[in-house]
């Protein structure tokens, strides 16, 4: 994983705030125990089971737009929560710029976006300037400052190999994860990516369209579906009822039926 981050990123990641979140004394004072132990001690003993359909865990955090309570911040909207390994890293920079450019598209669908990166707030501010300059974007959504990895741990955004080597590395990297959460605060989609692979914003938008259409129309969407394409009649709906609801139904197999919506 290290090969995907510039040296500046490691300096940024390893540079802790003057008063570390888990320490009562400045970082210059001797630590009472190794960093790895302090990191492990600050984490919850058990992670929530983040199954599809489960309630997204709530948390309070500092962001580039102030302190938030996540559930209150969602305010009954569809929400995308996406994480990043570190500020000033190349792949993350391209991703945040791309998401920022789609702000209007997500807004049309009533979707709020919030990012997370495992650095402190001051680092985030400088990084946003770089993102806007390099990608020609205007990042307006908040970015969570998660230097202590508490939110990353809560949402299982930690690579297993990082945990296995925690004693040696001191603190784990945050992986690239995407959570789509509906207005009822239920997790509807989870995607995790390796450090070397940037995400596809068009796919995230496509999934939002699919979920919202399915919820509203009571249908399913086939592979590579885009808005305007035919949709699938769920097996739970009879062909007779589907014709009453949608009109024409095209049957390829008794279990595979297409219609327009």
Q: Please give the radius of gyration of the chain, using alpha carbons only, rounded to the nearest integer.
A: 21
Report pLDDT for 173: 65
Residues in the chain, overall count: 261
- Please pick, among 13, 35, 81, 92, the residue that the annotation labels catalytic: 92
Q: Quick one: 246 and 174 in the same domain?
A: no
d(CA 19, CA 105) in angstroms, rounded, equals 40
pTM here? 0.79
Report pLDDT for 167: 55
pLDDT value at 1 more than 60? no
Query: How many domains, the chain?
Result: 2
93-147: pLDDT as tens digits: 999 999 999 999 999 999 999 999 888 888 888 899 999 999 999 999 999 999 8
Domain that holds residue 63: 2-199
77 in catalytic set: no
Report pLDDT for 104: 95
Residues β-bridged to residue 191:
178
Report pLDDT for 254: 93
The residue that leads in pLDDT, 248 or 44, is 248
Looking up residue 76, the CATH number of its domain turns out to be 3.40.30.10
At 93 the three-state DSSP class reads: helix
Q: Quick one: 191 and 225 in the same domain?
A: no
Residues β-bridged to residue 216:
none
**CB-based contact 188:182 (threshold 8 Å):** yes
Report pLDDT for 30: 37
Residue 206: inside a domain: no
């Amino acid at each position: 994983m290290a090969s995907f981050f510039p040296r500046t990123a490691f300096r940024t990641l390893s540079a802790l705030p003057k008063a570390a979140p888990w320490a009562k004394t400045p970082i210059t004072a001797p630590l009472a125990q190794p960093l790895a132990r302090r990191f492990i001690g600050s984490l919850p003993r058990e992670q929530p089971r983040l199954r599809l359909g489960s309630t997204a865990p709530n948390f309070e955090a500092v962001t580039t737009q102030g302190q938030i309570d996540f559930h209150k911040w969602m305010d009954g909207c569809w929400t995308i929560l996406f994480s990043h390994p570190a500020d000033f890293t190349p792949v993350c920079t391209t991703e945040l710029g791309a998401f920022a450019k789609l702000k209007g598209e997500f807004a049309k669908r009533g979707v709020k976006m919030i990012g997370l990166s495992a650095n402190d707030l001051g680092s985030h501010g400088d990084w946003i300037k770089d993102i806007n300059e390099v990608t020609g974007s205007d990042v307006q959504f908040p970015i969570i400052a998660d230097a202590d990895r508490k939110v990353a741990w809560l949402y299982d955004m930690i690579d297993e190999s990082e945990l296995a080597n925690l004693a040696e590395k001191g603190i784990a990297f945050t992986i690239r994860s995407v959570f789509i959460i509906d207005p009822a605060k239920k997790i509807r989609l989870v995607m995790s990516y390796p450090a070397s692979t940037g995400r596809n914003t068009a796919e995230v938008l496509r999934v939002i369209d699919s979920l919202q259409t399915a919820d509203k129309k009571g249908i399913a969407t086939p592979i590579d579906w885009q808005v305007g394409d035919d949709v699938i009649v769920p097996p739970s709906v009879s062909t007779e009822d589907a014709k009453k609801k949608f009109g024409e139904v095209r049957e390829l197999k008794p279990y595979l039926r297409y219609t327009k919506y």
